[in-house]
Structure 1
Amino acid sequence: MRCLQWGLFASGGPPALLPSHTTTVPALQHLLKAGFGFSIGVTDIGSTYVWPSNLLAGNPEVRNVLDGTQQCHVDRAAETDTSETRIQIEHKDAGCVGAGWAHIVAVSKSNCIYETARQVDVSRPGSILSLTHTLSPSQGRVILLAAGEQHSVLISDSGMAYSWGRGECGQLGHGTRENAWCPKQLLYRGSGRGHVARIACGARHTLLLATDGHVYACGWGLYGQCGTGDTADELEALPVAGLGGLGICELSAGMSHSVALTSSGDVYAWGWNDAGQLGTGTDTTIEIVPQLLEAPELEGTICSVSCGARHTMALDHEGRIWSWGWNQYGQLGTGDTLNQRYPAATILPDQCVASHISCGWWHSNALVTMK
């Protein structure tokens, strides 16, 4: 599948206002959440690659990011100036990978956690990832990772969530504002409290979906992004108001807003709405509880959602992309830089059908096939 990219390109040229082909990594199968200036994708054989969104200088060679040995050569894409770096740990493909604002966290097949420094630089193979933590057998094996501005969260096969990093807003869910430099169990309370099934990290808040169907949130609450009915920071994960029983299946979080998708294709959003990133069509600046997006184009048709810093994307079952929110750098892909408070169609190249979407901080990505 081809990868398209649009939004902020800081390579000296203007932002890309429309999606364009960006990488020739072969057989890319799905995208992982992007960060500030970089994107991550996985091939059909499970190899994980990171490439800059034209924000970081690089070279056209695919490299092992641990020891810098050359793996193969990938030509630069004609339309953009990017390079791709293969993420390998212990000379094997990473088990799973998460992307934060400016860092990457990955787990090896031997259950060891590797992280970048707090600024990703794919132009320096061999210095990207370093071993930071080894989980104990009692904590289980890592099955999912997510990362925020300066914190990371994992789910283990025991169904527990563990978090570490900066904790000044309660985003770690440890009941305090203290930082944690190794994974500690994230605390959440409420009825049922099933095992954690999905996670998402905003800049300084964290969302969890439990197997009982409830959504929980902790961390920075200034703009209502925790969805608990107020704007207080939550030091432990509390139930998000009004989502129980709706069949939530996917979560995403931006800088200060949050989005949830139901299995029936409905989208709920809450938090900061200064640029229309909630997609409700209103001028309300803050929503402290989830709001249903009552857009006829979206009702019952959405299969995936993704949040950037202040914009949101949704993918429907027909392979169309809808975007809304802040658009100063063209990250909505509408061909202009006008903010959208209501879902607008992203303009894909002719005959392109999208299958995966991923928002970076100020850019967007999609995997597409040709009709």
Structure 2
Amino acid sequence: MNEIIFFGENEEPILIKNEPDTITKPIQFKFENENENENEKQIKQISSGNNSTIFLFKNGKAIEYLNENPSKIQIENIQKVIVGQENEAILTIEGNVFAKGEDINPNNTNEFINISSLIEDTNDRIIQDIVSGWCSIYLLTSNQNVYGIGLNDWSQLGFDSKILKETKKPILMMKNVSKIFSGNSSRHVFLLNSNQELFGCGDNQYSQVGLGKSRKETKIQKLTKIQNIPKGKIIDIQCGMGHSIMLIENENENENPKRKLYSCGFYLSNGLGKDEDTYEFTEIKSSLFENDDNILDISCGDSHTLILTSKGKLIGFGDNEYNQLGTGDTERQLIPIQIELPKLRFNEDISNYHVSCGNYRSFLYYSNQN
């Protein structure tokens, strides 16, 4: 049985028929004809952008919401899906990536094409991971090389945007990379190399690349090492339009390692979790996730952030114009608040829950990867 909680924008696409354009408080999401093929519809992942949402199931199949009528994606053995502003991409178990969008295939924006096959180095075409940006897609190969494709208007591909405005073929950005971090609303990107050094580039007009107060450039045109990173293991970085959230695990605590949150960017309309601009990654403090509670998962939309804790608390902050914080109003929340949830069926197994933010919508869902 699926467990999906939804709130926020409910138009373009319409996700739940016969409901308002915005869902003001968290409600249960149900697929049409959910009782049919019940065994096939165990959720693995949800990815949502500005104009579409994709639900991936454990059987490797996916459905896409572009309008009122969801449609099956005609690709088998899907491992991961990502949705950006104007593009979508799919990673298969075999390591192929299929993508579509105006910045990928302008001649037919609704047709998925194999973009991994466009990598010039034929030994580098098996893809290990994919991450979406605003109008760009990042590919991490099995050889730990990162390629970017799509728009480069904010130098989010790591090149001078005056020289390389966009590319329809994957272009090598960096070698020896272990992880990529960006977001469906983000025009900046972070790459973590095999030595656990973090590099960033792209849109920095709100200091969301985290380079410090002295870096005034609105665009970081080449991959630049991020200094003063908090101590510990980087578990995740989630990026919005004007902010970045970093999840760090303290490696010195062998039993039940503690995780902490750090943010940088523009505070007023973005999900920073604090009430001041932050030019480099600094800790977000809140009694909601201190002491014996720990952070399981994080996600960022355009201008809001969601956090799920080990005690089953859903916490949010940031912009709330489309009720994407699920508080029942549209008031912006600068500091973390707890979001009231319907009773969950799998509270005893909270580690299998995940959060996923679209631009202006939010999901909490159960996904047992075993």
Contact 2:7 2:23 in 1 (8 A): yes
Q: Does 1:57 align with 2:52?
A: no
Contact 2:88 2:99 in 1 (8 A): yes
Report the Cα distance in structure 2 between the residues aligned to 1:347 and 1:301, rounded to whole angstroms: 18
Report the Cα distance in structure 1 between the residues aligned to 2:149 and 2:340, rounded to whole angstroms: 39
Task: Look up the match of 1:317.
Answer: 310
Task: Look up the match of 1:70.
Answer: none
Contact 1:98 1:147 in 2 (8 A): yes
Report percent identity of matched pairs.
21
Alignment of 1:101-112 (within 5 A): 101-109=85-93, 111-112=95-96
Alignment of 1:192-207 (within 5 A): 195-201=177-183, 202-207=185-190
- Which deviates further from its counterpart, 148-157 or 176-185? 176-185
**Structure 2: which 5+ runs fail to align?**
250-257
Task: Look up the match of 1:277.
Answer: 271
Task: Look up the match of 1:75.
Answer: none
Report the Cα distance in structure 1 between the residues aligned to 2:64 and 2:364, rounded to whole angstroms: 14
Report the Cα distance in structure 1 between the residues aligned to 2:227 and 2:97, rounded to whole angstroms: 33
The structural deviation recorded for 1:47 is: 2.3
Q: Does 1:251 align with 2:250?
A: no
For residue 183 of structure 1, the aligned residue among 166, 170, 178 is: 170
Distance 1:19 1:38, change over 3 A: farther
Report the Cα distance in structure 1 between the residues aligned to 2:122 and 2:231, rounded to whole angstroms: 34
Distance 1:303 1:214, change over 3 A: farther
Contact 2:127 2:139 in 1 (8 A): yes
Task: Look up the match of 1:94.
Answer: 78
Letter in structure 1 aligned against 2:158: G
Report the Cα distance in structure 2 between the residues aligned to 1:45 and 1:289, rounded to whole angstroms: 41
Letter in structure 1 aligned against 2:224: L
Task: Look up the match of 1:308.
Answer: 301
Task: Look up the match of 2:283.
Answer: 292
Report the Cα distance in structure 2 between the residues aligned to 1:356 and 1:95, rounded to whole angstroms: 16
Letter in structure 2 aligned against 1:39: T
Q: Deviations over 1:287-325 (max 9, x none)?
A: 221120011212361121110000001111122211100
For residue 159 of structure 2, the aligned residue among 159, 174, 196 is: 174
Report the Cα distance in structure 1 between the residues aligned to 2:73 and 2:222, rounded to whole angstroms: 33
For residue 59 of structure 2, the aligned residue among 17, 21, 45 is: 45
Report the Cα distance in structure 2 between the residues aligned to 1:23 and 1:273, rounded to whole angstroms: 35
**Structure 1: which 5+ runs fail to align?**
60-82, 121-125, 189-193
- Which deviates further from its counterpart, 139-148 or 237-246? 237-246
The structural deviation recorded for 1:259 is: 0.8
Letter in structure 2 aligned against 1:141: I
The structural deviation recorded for 1:364 is: 0.4
The structural deviation recorded for 1:224 is: 0.4
The structural deviation recorded for 1:112 is: 4.0
Contact 2:230 2:248 in 1 (8 A): no
Report the Cα distance in structure 2 between the residues aligned to 1:297 and 1:276, rounded to whole angstroms: 19
Q: Deviations over 1:176-230 (max 9, x none)?
A: 5412221111148xxxxx5322332352111223333232211011000111122
The structural deviation recorded for 1:133 is: 4.7
Task: Look up the match of 1:236.
Answer: 222
Distance 1:87 1:243, change over 3 A: farther
The structural deviation recorded for 1:110 is: 5.2
Task: Look up the match of 1:20.
Answer: 27
- Which deviates further from its counterpart, 13-22 or 160-169? 13-22
Task: Look up the match of 2:261.
Answer: 267
The structural deviation recorded for 1:244 is: 5.4
Contact 2:138 2:180 in 1 (8 A): no
The structural deviation recorded for 1:245 is: 3.4
Report the Cα distance in structure 1 between the residues aligned to 2:310 and 2:150, rounded to whole angstroms: 37
Contact 1:302 1:314 in 2 (8 A): yes
Contact 2:96 2:125 in 1 (8 A): no
Contact 2:115 2:170 in 1 (8 A): no
Distance 1:149 1:296, change over 3 A: same
Task: Look up the match of 2:130.
Answer: 145
Contact 1:164 1:183 in 2 (8 A): yes
- After TM superposition, the score normalised by the length of structure 2 is 0.80
Letter in structure 2 aligned against 1:102: E
Count of residues paired in the alignment: 326
Contact 1:19 1:348 in 2 (8 A): yes
Higher helix share: 2
- Which deviates further from its counterpart, 106-115 or 42-51? 106-115
Distance 1:223 1:362, change over 3 A: same
SS in 1 for 2:123: helix
The structural deviation recorded for 1:138 is: 2.2
Contact 1:276 1:342 in 2 (8 A): no
Report the Cα distance in structure 2 between the residues aligned to 1:293 and 1:111, rounded to whole angstroms: 37
The structural deviation recorded for 1:132 is: 4.2
Letter in structure 2 aligned against 1:296: S
Q: Does 1:5 align with 2:6?
A: yes
The structural deviation recorded for 1:21 is: 2.0
The structural deviation recorded for 1:273 is: 1.5
Distance 1:304 1:351, change over 3 A: closer
